[in-house]
Amino acid sequence: MRLWIRNPLAILAEDAEGGVVVDGTRLVECVPLGGGPSAAVDDVFDASEHVVLPGLVNLHHHFFQTLTRACPPALDKPLFPWLESLYPVWAGLRPDDLALAARVALVELLRSGCTTVSDHHYLFPAGLEEAIDIEAEAVRELGMRAVLTRGSMSLSVDDGGLPPRSVVQTEEAIMADSERLLSRYHERGEGAMLGIALAPCSPFSVTAELMRESAALARREGALLHTHLAETEDETAWCLEHTGRRPVDYLEELGWLGEDVWVAHGIHFDDEEIERLGRAGVGVSHCPSSNMVLASGHCRTLELEAAGSPVGLGVDGSASNDASNLIGEARQALLLQRLHYGADRVGHREALRWATQGGACCLGRTDIGRIAPGLQADLALFRLDEPRFAGAGDPLAALLLCGAQQADRVMIAGSWRLIDGEVPGLDLPALLAAQKTAARALLARAGAGA
């Protein structure tokens, strides 16, 4: 089945003003302005009212947190007190809760133009040992591309960490489940739909031994590594007190500096650390909304890229964003980075690149994140027919400057997964009603209602 997506209003690609041709799961041709496909097609989609982007890539999320958006106990707090307020609530998570939370997060991401997602799940209270399996089922039902990171915490508050003992696991259980998940789900190579990465939550939530063992296992299995790093000054102070090292020094000592690693936030790096991270090729997920909500600081995206680190975007958890909207996150990145660097150094194309190609690079993918022949047919199509776009000149710039919120169509691996802004076959009102009920019950179990 050859499909010509014809004559888009605008497209984020070179020499493709006449559109692109999709054959099966791949893009096979970029059509120049005024031209047509080089060979016959089976169908044509008129994209003359659509702006076409590569599918957006979300590098960092916590699906379960859709259950605790604007959560009363956690309002107006920085990271550590925020976590301490929410851990007792999250300790009550049940399998059905996570299933609903994951579906809501994925649907929200899909509707925002996201085709590839990464979730960092690190909470495993009793009864939720198969959390990653639950997420994998949700991803496959929606036909999305994903890297699910098997997070972990082994240091409870009794061991000098932050979480209660009820949500941490033994290192033996963590490593056994990591091996199981890699064996069962981890796809490798071009076109992979579902991958597994290993992701100790942060340097202050696991032991050094678990960090080393996770790295060794991931590298044996050809998987990536992920963790939170340098998100707040409190984290730096904790590392100095407990390890005698700054976070990057500690990560390097553990063997975690490499092209197979991407970290979330990456705010509190000094110049020398940025140079080291760049030389090692460590990727960074910039999470602007979360960083502003928690007042964590500013990621130095331009310096990181100049040093050699790929930079992408993550919406982060829906309890610290409090949304799962990736096109909205690209606008936030544009505005925050302009505030820091100046309007003449960060434009809409930089932000869109972080949301697409930059994220793909962090995940080690060369088959997604761009529109070019031979790459996977992952596309996000946006209409500019809302009042917010009235009078807009440059369509690509308008997506971010005018604040696009929802895609009209999304294609993943050559299949339409969003049509006219809706997920085919999904009863969205029923899903949202069930998730709302689960969120209220979760707060009630913790005695943390409004």
Please give the span between the terminal C-alpha atoms of the chain, in angstroms, as a whole number.
53
pTM of the model: 0.97
One domain for residues 158 and 270: yes
* Backbone dihedral angles phi then psi of residue 89, each to the nearest 5 degrees: -70, -50
pLDDT (tens, 9 = 90+) of the chain, 450 residues, equals 899 999 999 999 999 999 999 999 999 999 999 999 999 999 999 999 999 999 999 999 999 999 999 999 999 999 989 999 999 999 999 999 999 999 999 999 999 999 999 999 999 999 999 999 999 999 999 999 999 999 999 998 888 777 888 999 999 999 999 999 999 999 999 999 999 999 999 878 899 999 999 999 999 999 999 999 999 998 899 899 988 999 999 999 999 999 999 999 999 999 999 999 999 999 999 999 999 999 999 999 999 999 999 999 999 999 999 999 999 999 999 999 999 999 999 999 999 999 999 999 999 999 999 999 999 999 999 999 999 999 999 999 999 999 999 999 999 999 999 999 999 999 999 999 999 999 999 999 998 654
Same domain, 407 and 304: no
Q: Does residue 119 lie in a domain region?
A: yes
pLDDT of residue 420: 98
Q: Give yes or no: residues 344 and 393 share one domain.
A: no
Q: Does 444 reside within a domain?
A: no
pLDDT value at residue 342: 96
Is 7 within the bounds of a domain? Answer: yes
Q: Name 149's bridge partners.
A: 120, 197
Closest CA to 330 of 9, 49, 114, 79: 114
Same domain, 267 and 358: yes
274 and 325 housed in the same domain: yes
Is 231 contained in some domain?
Answer: yes
Q: What is the pLDDT of residue 450?
A: 45
Query: Domain for residue 397, yes or no?
Result: yes
Do 81 and 141 fall into the same domain? yes
Residue 157, pLDDT score: 86
Considering the domain architecture, whether residues 220 and 123 belong to the same structural domain is answered as yes
The number of C-alpha atoms within 13 Å of 396 and in the hemisphere containing its C-beta is: 16
Verify that 78 and 39 share a domain, yes or no: no
Choose one of 335, 362, 389: the last residue of a domain: 362
Question: Any bridge partners for residue 265, and if so which?
Answer: 229
Q: Specify the pLDDT at position 449.
A: 53
Same domain membership, residue 60 and residue 48: no
**Nearest one of 363, 377, 276, 375 to 313, comparing CA atoms:** 363
Range of the domain at 27: 2-54+375-418
| 412 and 390 assigned to the same domain | yes
Q: Is the same domain home to 247 and 294?
A: yes
The CATH number of whichever domain residue 48 belongs to comes to 2.30.40.10
Do 406 and 281 lie in a common domain? no
- Our count of domains for the chain comes to 2
As a whole number of angstroms, the distance between CA 257 and CA 296 comes to 23
Q: Are 299 and 283 in contact (CB under 8 A)?
A: no
* pLDDT score for 448: 63
